[in-house]
């Protein structure tokens, strides 16, 4: 269980960041690059003061996310194109500040703290991830902001006519996406006592898969942090189970792909209509 929650501490915040942008009809591809670059910033700037390293990483993530959001809303550009460019920029910056090499973090005490078991099977990193999900879950369920976020994704034009500040919400969600991905990256690099410009590049696909499994719609207007958390746990359990069976790494990708296909089929409105039609056809009384 501790191992599963450690995976959740990495994948969960990134899936939440991506899922929240998907809920407003956008897609933040830059979260993968932010995870790696933030880890490099935290390791470089957090030797004397780990909190300063994390604060600088999160601050950079928030500013970069806000900048992307402002470009998307001001110039009315596709978030795919903007954030793809952001991903490449972040990867390039990571290479520049690390000199294209792996950076060591000479603070094993910090690594021990962020990974120490604090509450049964929870580490500090896992508690931070769960707390983020809990806070955003409350915001989405209990506040007007949460309702406005869903409205912005459901029908941006209608939401704007109704008085919802769609542009401001887009910038806010993109800011959150950058900040939370940076926080996850900084804590992970502290945990590993190392940072690399390429070590965390493979997180984007699992994060997107977890968000979709958790009920986030690619067309926007639907999604909740609790659902995303459930999707992340499904992937973490699947990975742990397959690892326990000592299967080949490619089987993990096949298994995740099959789960996504099943979720997509179950979520299909056309499939639901067809099943209802079949049920009605079989329920009709046949002439004697």
CATH number of the domain residue 221 falls in: 1.10.3470
In a domain, 86, yes or no: yes
Higher pLDDT, 247 or 224: 224
In a domain, 263, yes or no: no
Residue 100, domain extent: 2-246
Yes or no: say if 10 and 126 are a contact pair by the CB < 8 Å rule: no
- The pLDDT value recorded for residue 202 is 76
The closest of 5, 44, 10 to 202, measured between CA atoms, is 10
In a domain, 275, yes or no: no
Helix (H, G, I), strand (E, B) or coil at 195: strand
The closest of 79, 92, 90 to 28, measured between CA atoms, is 79
In a domain, 167, yes or no: yes
Alpha-carbon distance of 231 to 225, in angstroms, equals 10
In a domain, 118, yes or no: yes
In a domain, 94, yes or no: yes
Q: How confident is the model at residue 215 (pLDDT cuts 50, 70, 90)?
A: confident
Alpha-carbon distance of 281 to 279, in angstroms, equals 5
Total domains in the chain come to 1
Q: pTM, whole model, 2 decimals?
A: 0.87
Q: How confident is the model at residue 285 (pLDDT cuts 50, 70, 90)?
A: low
In a domain, 103, yes or no: yes
In a domain, 215, yes or no: yes
pLDDT above 70: residue 287: no
CA dihedral 39, 205, 179, 186 (to 10 degrees): -20
Q: pLDDT (tens digit, 9 = 90+) per residue, 145-158?
A: 999 999 999 888 89
């Amino acid at each position: 269980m501790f191992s599963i929650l450690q995976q959740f501490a990495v994948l969960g915040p990134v899936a939440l960041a991506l899922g929240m942008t998907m809920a407003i009809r956008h897609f933040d591809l830059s979260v993968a690059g932010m995870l790696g670059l933030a880890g490099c910033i935290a390791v470089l700037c957090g030797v004397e003061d780990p909190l300063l390293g994390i604060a600088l990483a999160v601050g950079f993530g928030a500013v970069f996310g806000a900048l992307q959001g402002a470009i998307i809303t001001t110039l009315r550009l596709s978030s795919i194109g903007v954030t793809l460019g952001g991903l490449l920029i972040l990867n390039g910056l990571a290479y520049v500040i690390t000199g294209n090499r792996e950076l060591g973090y000479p603070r094993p005490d910090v690594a021990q703290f962020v990974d120490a078991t604090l509450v049964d099977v929870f580490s500090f990193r896992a508690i931070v991830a769960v707390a983020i999900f809990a806070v955003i879950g409350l915001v989405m369920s209990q506040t007007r902001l949460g309702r406005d976020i869903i409205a912005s994704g459901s029908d941006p034009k209608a939401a704007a006519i109704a008085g919802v500040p769609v542009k401001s919400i887009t910038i806010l969600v993109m800011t959150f996406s950058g900040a939370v991905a940076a926080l996850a990256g900084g804590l992970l690099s502290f945990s590993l006592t190392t940072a690399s410009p390429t070590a965390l590049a493979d997180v984007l696909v699992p994060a997107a898969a977890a968000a979709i499994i958790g009920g986030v719609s690619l067309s926007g207007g639907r999604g909740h942090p609790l659902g995303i958390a459930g999707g992340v746990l499904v992937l973490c359990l699947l990975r742990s189970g397959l690892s326990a069976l000592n299967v080949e790494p490619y089987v993990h990708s096949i298994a995740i792909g099959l789960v996504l296909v099943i979720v997509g089929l179950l979520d299909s409105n056309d499939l639901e209509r067809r099943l209802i039609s079949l049920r009605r056809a079989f329920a009709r009384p046949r002439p004697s």
